[in-house]
Structure 1
Amino acid sequence: MKYLTRTIWLLSLVSLFTDLASEMLYPVMPLYLKSIGFSIVLIGLLEGVAEAIAGLSKGYFGQWSDSLGRRLPFVQWGYGLSALSKPMLAVLAAPWWVFLARALDRLGKGLRTGARDALLSDETTPDTKGRVFGFHRSLDTLGAVLGPAVALVWLAARPGDYRLLFLLAFLPGLAAIGTTLLVRERPRQPAPQPIRPFWASFSYWRRAPAAYRRVVGGLVAFALFNSSDAFLLLLARQRGLSDATVIGLYIFYNLVYALAAFPAGYLSDRLGPRRMLVAGLLTFGAVYAGVAQAHELWAFGLLFGLYGLYAAATEGVSKAWVSNLCARPDTGAALGTLAGLSSLAALVASVVAGLLWQWGGPALTFSVTAAVAVVVAGYLALAKSSSPVIS
């Protein structure tokens, strides 16, 4: 497959190593946080604030990479900060320190995301973007399969020993840093706009094409209600499943996601990203409606599998769609703005989900989110777009 260049392979491997490190911790984080005294609302606040930090920085650093005409330094420093945050969690269990570690991790994500996605986009043509972003998501999510598997084996041997696990997660992070040093960036002309101040992170929105604003507006509206996956894991645990089973479900979800991401990207190139995104959002609505009523292991297994199909049909596909709705020199700002606005929306989504859970229980939380997903799917199905890639 000639469209999978050396740069695409290396960036995909970097994401694999980083996700392996992150996902060693992600499924156990809600359990760890509860063990050190975090409430459901505080967990939602932590996840929301962390994503807000990523959101505020994604648009800014994506725009900055356009202005400099360089992507690679943002990628290298971003993955470095995320790797450093992992062993920090082993040092201290105080809530303020946990917030600091998560903030550093998300700042690293904000630093690298727009620049990395722009590097990927620069390696493609409009006809292959779905496949390339799908391939990247496949390897990224393979790390999300391996990471929880390592955590599952570790906790089976050493139940409740979270802190040494945080130290072990630093090793694949180091591998990610080393791999970024092998990436070579093509020279490009800087974008004409100056570097704007941090508070102007989302200034691209004002000059973006109308089609971009329509599509990204719909995606952000969905993100306002799409809370952290931590709530899905907490619900499964609350419904009586063991820690090992919950982690196993998370591994299964990521395995389905990893296997389906590349085929979903291929189909989006053939059928158009609009159809794939709408199908993915409808699948999400069905999953969340079902989870609100699920109690048996088989039901959770089916729903987590469908959830993997939703992720495959939306994550990489949305980036491929949006990158075709902007001028090539603005790719970093366009993708960074999408990622940034989505992360800021996650602040609202996670806090609201925690409050809805406290007030009306998990059924209310998941039912409201399912309804919003269906509404947004209808909007995107009808949204006008001038992109030649969109059917």
Structure 2
Amino acid sequence: GDVTPPPLVGRAFGLQRGLDHVGAVIGPLVAWVVLSRGADVRTVILASIVPGVIVTVLAAWSVRDGEGRRGAAKEAAAATLPPSAALRRLSPPVIAISIFYLLRMPETLMILRAQQLGIAVALIPLLWAALHVVRSSTSFLGGALSDRIGPARTMWIGWLSYVALAAGMWLAASPLAAWLLFLALGVVAGLTESPERALVSTATGGGHRGSGFGVYHALTGVAALVGGVALGVIFQRGSGATAFLVSAVGASGLVILWPFWSGLRRVPPQ
């Protein structure tokens, strides 16, 4: 956010999320190939240090390269937006996003539901890799849409898509449906992850982005943990279908309220 022009913030986060998901595809596949050729797990883990070192060096170089622009942006933002004001601007959207994470079904339970619908355990790694292919493919598109119509509207489309997905998982009755719906989760991620970050970035301003993202990740992380446990209990004590129904109904409430909430609470203009 600090070194990206405002009109491109969504696409910048889309690129970041897309590349992250590419890694989630390539890494496990490379590890599987190496292990299948007779290497032991310790060798694979040690080999993973190499790309980690390379990324660290590249990150350090890029941070130095953008230091001047970031410092100027930070000083300008700090002069016009005190921390309390930044937090007030950030609170409404982050609370709404956290509620979505509270209601959203974790991927682990999605996998269990897919198994209930007939997908073999041996195919789960392939299903997981395919999910991240979709996520990677849609992340930049979601970011571009965020730049065009605004992060708040793009998130709303993503949340609405999730309601349809969760309802589909509730009604699904075949392995094919499980495949299609699980991959649709990648589209939901593409429509939510990049806009969420773009919204946090623009709401807090350059001088407070670090604190803003800290609040965002803390609240959404806690919400995802609590929601995952609650939905897991419903999944285990009730059924997978029931858990998805609860998730769909809860998320639909957020979809209905968000347009009014974002307008009444004056989420920063996109």
With normalisation by structure 1, the TM-score equals 0.59
Q: Figure out how many residues of one structure are paired with residues of the other and give that number.
A: 253
Task: Tell me whether 317-326 or 374-383 shows the greater mean CA deviation.
Answer: 374-383
Per the TM alignment, residue 279 of structure 1 is displaced from its structure 2 partner at its CA by 0.8
Residue 263 (str. 1) matches residue 144 (str. 2): no
Per the TM alignment, residue 150 of structure 1 is displaced from its structure 2 partner at its CA by 4.0
Change (3 A) 1:371 1:152: farther
| Residue aligning to 1:142 | 22
Unpaired segments ≥5 residues, structure 1: 1-120, 193-203
| Residue aligning to 1:212 | 90
Change (3 A) 1:386 1:297: closer
Q: Percent identity?
A: 30
SS of the equivalent of 1:224 reads: helix
In structure 1, distance between residues paired with 2:115 and 2:241: 14
In structure 1, distance between residues paired with 2:111 and 2:34: 18
Tell whether the 8 Å contact from 2:21 to 2:136 is kept in structure 1 after alignment. yes
Tell whether the 8 Å contact from 1:152 to 1:244 is kept in structure 2 after alignment. no
Residue 372 (str. 1) matches residue 255 (str. 2): no
In structure 1, distance between residues paired with 2:193 and 2:18: 11
Unpaired segments ≥5 residues, structure 2: 76-82
| Residue aligning to 2:48 | 172
Structure with the higher helix share, 1 or 2: 2
Residue 296 (str. 1) matches residue 174 (str. 2): yes
In structure 2, distance between residues paired with 1:380 and 1:315: 17
| Residue aligning to 2:157 | 279
Change (3 A) 1:258 1:166: farther
Per the TM alignment, residue 300 of structure 1 is displaced from its structure 2 partner at its CA by 1.5
Tell whether the 8 Å contact from 1:293 to 1:363 is kept in structure 2 after alignment. yes
Change (3 A) 1:275 1:148: same
SS of the equivalent of 2:12 reads: helix
Per the TM alignment, residue 209 of structure 1 is displaced from its structure 2 partner at its CA by 4.4
SS of the equivalent of 2:47 reads: helix
Please list the CA deviations of residues 229-260 of structure 1 after superposition, one character each: whole Å capped at 9, or x if unmatched: 11111222233321232222222211111111
Residue 181 (str. 1) matches residue 57 (str. 2): yes
Task: Specify which of 168, 191, 198 is matched with residue 313 of structure 1.
Answer: 191
**Which runs of structure 2 are paired with 1:1-391 in the superposition (5 Å)?**
121-150=1-30, 157=36, 164-165=40-41, 168-182=44-58, 183-184=60-61, 185=63, 186=67, 188=71, 208-382=86-260, 383-384=262-263, 385-389=266-270
Per the TM alignment, residue 227 of structure 1 is displaced from its structure 2 partner at its CA by 4.1
AA aligned to 1:329 is: G
In structure 1, distance between residues paired with 2:40 and 2:243: 34
SS of the equivalent of 2:6 reads: coil
In structure 2, distance between residues paired with 1:386 and 1:337: 17
Tell whether the 8 Å contact from 2:105 to 2:244 is kept in structure 1 after alignment. no
Tell whether the 8 Å contact from 2:234 to 2:242 is kept in structure 1 after alignment. yes
Change (3 A) 1:242 1:152: farther
Provide the alpha-carbon RMSD of the alignment. Answer: 2.7
In structure 2, distance between residues paired with 1:345 and 1:246: 26
Tell whether the 8 Å contact from 1:278 to 1:378 is kept in structure 2 after alignment. no
With normalisation by structure 2, the TM-score equals 0.83
Per the TM alignment, residue 292 of structure 1 is displaced from its structure 2 partner at its CA by 2.3
Per the TM alignment, residue 295 of structure 1 is displaced from its structure 2 partner at its CA by 3.4
In structure 2, distance between residues paired with 1:130 and 1:379: 24
